Structure 1
Amino acid sequence: MKLAAILCAGLATALIAVPNAPTPAGCKALPGDATWPAESVWTAALPGAIANPPPFGNATRPDYVFTAYTPADVQSALAFATRYNVRLAIINSGHDFLGRNDAASGLWLAVGNIKGVRVLDSFTPSADGALPANYSADPVETANVIKQAPGKQAYVTFGAGVSTQELVDALDKSGLFPIGAATNNVKIAGGFGQTAGHAPFSSKYGLAADNIVEYKVVTADGKLRVANAVANQDLFWALRGGGGGTFGVVIEATMKVFPSSKITIQRWWLKTTSANDTRSIFEPAAYMHSQFPELNAKGVQGYYYIYPTGILASFMTTGEDAGIEKARVMWAPILAKLEMYPGVGKVIHQYSDFATFKAYFDSTFGKRQVRDPTDPFEPEGAFPRGINRMDSRLLSASHLKSPELGAVLHDAFPFHLRNGMWRGHLVGGGQVFKGGNDTSVHPAWRKAYVHLIGTGVGGYPNITALKRLASDSGCYSNETMWGPNYNRLYAIKKQVDPDHLFWVSPGIGADEFEIKETRLCKSTSRDVLGIAPRVDNNNFARNEADGYRKFPDTQAAADASHPKGSTW
């Protein structure tokens, strides 16, 4: 069985409970129930826990938030949720496109302040696990420095609350970089690394899940467990692909890291000659996709946006594949071919070199402010970004080279949405293909070059035509499916969390519970169709379809606007 996300508009209503009534059998407690703990009970058991203020408008939030700084804090939170039968939601950096880090009631456990970094020149899995990071230490200022011998694998141990930017900064001192998110404040050990974790240069080095060699996790029974190749192997397999908020609360991860080297960025822009022409761009877009397998074999990966009247692309190479002249030679025939399609203009292009991964990362993704100042509540820097209305597909070589692709990209395009677009990620191929059965990542990743997302503002896309073309594939975890891995993941879920302390939808075993009016309750019958239960979180993202970018008007404008920190 597999669970597919259902993106529903019929969400639950406001919380209602009959004062002092018993909690219905099989359901989680709500405020007003006879067993609901008083505020003094919350604060005595969880010092520092605070009541969430009433949300604005139709927003919903858990009743209390508790920020964890240590494994003991996490253990206290799980014990409290178990004892008082309150719903539990786990939030780290808040980047879950389906809002599974949020809930309409219960306890919000924030783990984004579990910090610390320890750089390692070697790692051997053991039942005791790696020497822990200092969870209260600044991950950048206190990170140690190593001198890694050429050809020898380096590693890093880091707290669950360490962001990609923090880890990039900490490792740069040792001339290393991590497989982290393509944005600065995503926490690698959270849902990112627990689902798959595509990244800048995952084609060259593998997905984040492929590179994580150990997790430390607090399971539902309150035990802090080491999960690696020799300890709790089934749990380790499940944590690398099965999704966050499902098997336990990750405290720490250890992963492979790699030598930083020169990076070349090749950006280009292509527009239709008429601003009213919303058809001519899709055949050039299909041609671009058809070239990806060969480009990827030459070390190319990157990101791109397809709009109704244009394409914006940013591709990169590193190490021995880098170099502006190499990029020019490689891209010249492709760009020339793009210009030959009817209805489009000249390609505007730009080439830049960065000396290190950090220089590239800072310039491309920037050190952004962590906190959203418009959010009514900020639990120690973490807040839910909200639900993004999108759908996606993983595309292999046969899909990319299909003669039907141009028509499919047009037919499935979200024209009905404001800022409708395809957001493309050439992040597979290469080392991603070499991942094996030691992770629970969806097997479709092992054939995919591209993760393609349809999105926009004001509603959901309908990418049925693309799914029909790639019916033998799957989609990435933020529209989760687990394919043939589901049954094993479900068996592990029943072993480590038999009472479903951890519940997210879509998620492993999600259909064992459902929202009944305003409560999370055990389901009377499991869904035989494999459709994930609806949720009561109606908090949509404010910045849906981020990525609508302004195009340079001329080649001269592109030449004058090279990114900061680069050479050209």
Structure 2
Amino acid sequence: MAALSNLISTGRITDQGADADAYPCYAGAGYDSRDCQQIQKYYNRPGFLIGKAGSMQAFNWEDLGNQRCTLEGANEWNMQCQFGRTPAFAVDVHVPDDIQKALAFASQHNLRVVIKSTGHDYFGRSTAPGALLIWLHNFQGQLETKMTFTPSGCDASSQTVDPVITVTGGKTWDDVYPKVDQDFNGKYCIVAGYCIDIGAAGGYTLGGGHSILSTVFGLAVDNVLEMTVVTADGQLLTANSCQNKDLFWALRGGGGGTFGVVTSITFDAAGWGGYHFYNPAFGFSFMFLKLADAGSTRASPPFDQLLKEFTDMEVASRVLARPFANVGTYYKHYDRLECADVFLRQDWRSWSDTTGIYDGFYAGSRVALGSRLIPVTSLVQSRTTAQTILAGASKLGQLATFGFLHINGNGVRNNPHAADTSVTPAWRKSGWHAILVTGWDGSTSEEDIAFVKGLLESGTQVWRDAYPDSGAYFNEASTTEPNWQQAFWGSNYPRLQQIKKTVDPNGMFVCSQCVGSESWDATGNCRI
């Protein structure tokens, strides 16, 4: 790696052994009591993990069996700090030239490359043992807003009506939201993530990106105007509707870590201002039902009826007490949700403190997900739909956290840019995105983890069987999703596969259940 280090102009090479999560807390040459105290204080905070190249916010993607370097392991006298699933080396890139030289080095030495922005990743696609990691946290560049924008290479007829904001690879939504508020005077918002620790130009957007505002303004990818990306051959390309159009289409929903290293994204801002949404996470789903079809501030009757079906089913409180506690909270504060505009003008944190809905996303957890996009047509039979969703969730009982993300509305279903994106067409026919989440701690045995995952899979399968022609959200789905190509991309997959072969013919970028990964074994390191 010394040769690569000499090539990098502004960044650096990190040795993941010394940079592992809790390395200073392990007995031996690396032990440092002062550093260990800081780690113990901030260990489960996203900001701490984002600032370490090899750290993932879901620790099961650092674990490789008992091989890990987490804090709980440091408390066991016979444990050693081990890489686990963490790559041995990461390139801390600051400018495009750093990325280009790192990819050239990887190509020369036949190395697999994975890409990490913040590590907010439920699939472990941002890490892999044996790979070279491109770390974008310190990537340079300022947030830039403009009142009008013409994509590069386009004529004046492509100029936007709304303002835009361009974000670079290392920025999070916590950086973006204040900038939008400040520069656009509360008159415009951006379709973006709930959790502020998500990378704004990373996998969230590249995988589709749902938002509380999706019902009106569509998915995040529906609002992307331009991207810059370094491809496997080292080219820094601009992709938009006028140049590199196939690549632009693929990047708008084809998933992160697949087609290249995205260095910037330009988003169209939405002219319905005053939104301050901060990190509602898993407890939020039932709050969003007042954001129905575009132009409406009241929920459509089928959604209200479906919620009432849940509350009428006593099994919900018996079998799934924690997940369904939020239904009662939703109705308790129903009047406060009558007007979407008033609701959204409140700061998320203060609102969630008042209602008790906010549970938060806890970094340092170990989680697994299962999900399905529920067709909007199913809402006609609200009781049957409620029973089906409960049947899947009840497979896990108290082991599950159960959430809905309301994505119904003209913003998603009838978005004018739908054909210009590569997300599964099932998004455009869905009313709800239903999720099952389960987890475990670091002391759980491999046998018990397999048992819990088996329950999760059986619950998710209930939903697959009920809605076989639908799909699942690439960023929030089961890691064992059968026929994942169809589930994540549907009829778009053959075109995505061809674009992948064109821009990355040697398979430099490989990640779990990503476009082209069927050509590789389960480790992602050996071609089949």
TM-score by length of 2: 0.68
Relative to its length, the structure with more helix (as a share) is 2
Q: Which residue of 2 aligns with 1:125?
A: 151
CA distance in 2, matches of 1:369, 1:222: 39
Q: Which residue of 2 aligns with 1:283?
A: none
Q: Is the 8 A contact 1:392 1:454 kept in 2?
A: yes
Deviation per residue, 1:391-412 (Å, 9 max, x gap): 1100112223335323322321
Letter in structure 2 aligned against 1:168: Y
Matched, 1:416 2:396: yes
CA distance in 1, matches of 2:304, 2:394: 31
Q: Shift in Å at residue 250 of structure 1?
A: 0.3
Q: Which residue of 2 aligns with 1:68?
A: 93
Which one of the candidate residues 218, 222, 227 is aligned to 1:206? Answer: 218
Q: Shift in Å at residue 339 of structure 1?
A: 6.4
Which one of the candidate residues 495, 500, 520 is aligned to 1:513? Answer: 520
CA distance in 1, matches of 2:334, 2:385: 27
Q: Which residue of 1 aligns with 2:130?
A: 105
Q: Is the 8 A contact 2:375 2:430 kept in 1?
A: yes
Q: Is the 8 A contact 2:218 2:411 kept in 1?
A: yes
Which one of the candidate residues 296, 311, 333 is aligned to 1:349? Answer: 333
Matched, 1:255 2:267: yes
CA 1:337–1:244: 2 relative to 1, 3 Å:
closer
Matched, 1:215 2:227: yes
Q: Which residue of 2 aligns with 1:183?
A: 195
CA 1:81–1:420: 2 relative to 1, 3 Å:
same
Q: Which residue of 1 aligns with 2:378?
A: 399
Cα RMSD, aligned residues only = 3.8
CA distance in 1, matches of 2:345, 2:267: 18
Q: Which residue of 2 aligns with 1:169?
A: 178
Q: Shift in Å at residue 96 of structure 1?
A: 1.8
Q: Is the 8 A contact 1:242 1:489 kept in 2?
A: yes
Matched, 1:472 2:452: no
CA distance in 2, matches of 1:359, 1:218: 39
Q: Shift in Å at residue 259 of structure 1?
A: 3.1
Deviation per residue, 1:35-63 (Å, 9 max, x gap): xxxx4224223452021116426732101
Give the 3-state SS of the residue equivalent to 2:273 in structure 1.
Answer: coil
CA distance in 1, matches of 2:85, 2:257: 19
Letter in structure 2 aligned against 1:466: W
Letter in structure 1 aligned against 2:242: V
Letter in structure 2 aligned against 1:240: R
Matched, 1:41 2:53: no
| Larger mean Cα displacement after TM superposition, 166-175 or 81-90 | 81-90
CA distance in 2, matches of 1:167, 1:342: 43
CA distance in 2, matches of 1:177, 1:360: 14
Matched, 1:489 2:513: no
Q: Shift in Å at residue 87 of structure 1?
A: 2.3
Give the 3-state SS of the residue equivalent to 2:205 in structure 1.
Answer: helix
CA distance in 1, matches of 2:369, 2:360: 25
Which one of the candidate residues 360, 364, 369 is aligned to 2:347? Answer: 360
Letter in structure 2 aligned against 1:166: D
Q: Shift in Å at residue 105 of structure 1?
A: 1.8
Matched, 1:79 2:76: no
Q: Tell me, which stretches of 5 or more residues in structure 2 are unaligned?
A: 21-67, 74-81, 318-326, 354-358, 441-451, 478-483
Deviation per residue, 1:214-264 (Å, 9 max, x gap): 010000110100100000000000000110010000000111112353569
TM-score by length of 1: 0.64
Which one of the candidate residues 421, 425, 430 is aligned to 2:405? Answer: 425
Q: Is the 8 A contact 1:260 1:357 kept in 2?
A: no
CA distance in 2, matches of 1:91, 1:197: 17
Letter in structure 2 aligned against 1:349: H
Larger radius of gyration: 1
Q: Is the 8 A contact 1:303 1:315 kept in 2?
A: no
Q: Which residue of 1 aligns with 2:14?
A: 50
CA distance in 2, matches of 1:126, 1:40: 38
CA distance in 1, matches of 2:88, 2:212: 37
CA 1:338–1:394: 2 relative to 1, 3 Å:
closer
CA distance in 2, matches of 1:102, 1:444: 28
Letter in structure 2 aligned against 1:124: T
Q: Which residue of 1 aligns with 2:433?
A: 451
- Equivalenced residue count is 408
Q: Is the 8 A contact 1:264 1:316 kept in 2?
A: no
CA 1:418–1:457: 2 relative to 1, 3 Å:
farther
Q: Which residue of 2 aligns with 1:159?
A: 168
CA 1:196–1:93: 2 relative to 1, 3 Å:
same
CA 1:351–1:228: 2 relative to 1, 3 Å:
same
Q: Is the 8 A contact 2:203 2:257 kept in 1?
A: yes
CA 1:341–1:153: 2 relative to 1, 3 Å:
same
Q: Which residue of 2 aligns with 1:228?
A: 240
CA 1:433–1:336: 2 relative to 1, 3 Å:
closer
Relative to its length, the structure with more strand (as a share) is 1
Q: Shift in Å at residue 185 of structure 1?
A: 1.4
Q: Is the 8 A contact 1:178 1:256 kept in 2?
A: yes
Give the 3-state SS of the residue equivalent to 1:409 in structure 2.
Answer: helix
Q: Shift in Å at residue 491 of structure 1?
A: 0.5
Q: Tell me, which stretches of 5 or more residues in structure 1 are unaligned?
A: 1-38, 131-150, 266-301, 375-384, 524-568
CA distance in 2, matches of 1:439, 1:121: 24
Q: Is the 8 A contact 1:52 1:61 kept in 2?
A: yes
Deviation per residue, 1:270-308 (Å, 9 max, x gap): xxxxxxxxxxxxxxxxxxxxxxxxxxxxxxxx98769xx
Q: Is the 8 A contact 1:182 1:365 kept in 2?
A: no
Identity of aligned residues (%): 28
Q: Which residue of 2 aligns with 1:438?
A: 420
| Larger mean Cα displacement after TM superposition, 256-265 or 114-123 | 256-265
CA distance in 2, matches of 1:218, 1:364: 41
CA distance in 1, matches of 2:109, 2:125: 22
Q: Is the 8 A contact 2:306 2:386 kept in 1?
A: no
Letter in structure 2 aligned against 1:522: R
CA distance in 1, matches of 2:307, 2:461: 30
Q: Is the 8 A contact 1:264 1:351 kept in 2?
A: no
CA 1:433–1:502: 2 relative to 1, 3 Å:
same
Q: Shift in Å at residue 422 of structure 1?
A: 2.1
Q: Which residue of 2 aligns with 1:193?
A: 205
CA 1:370–1:420: 2 relative to 1, 3 Å:
closer
Q: Shift in Å at residue 512 of structure 1?
A: 1.4
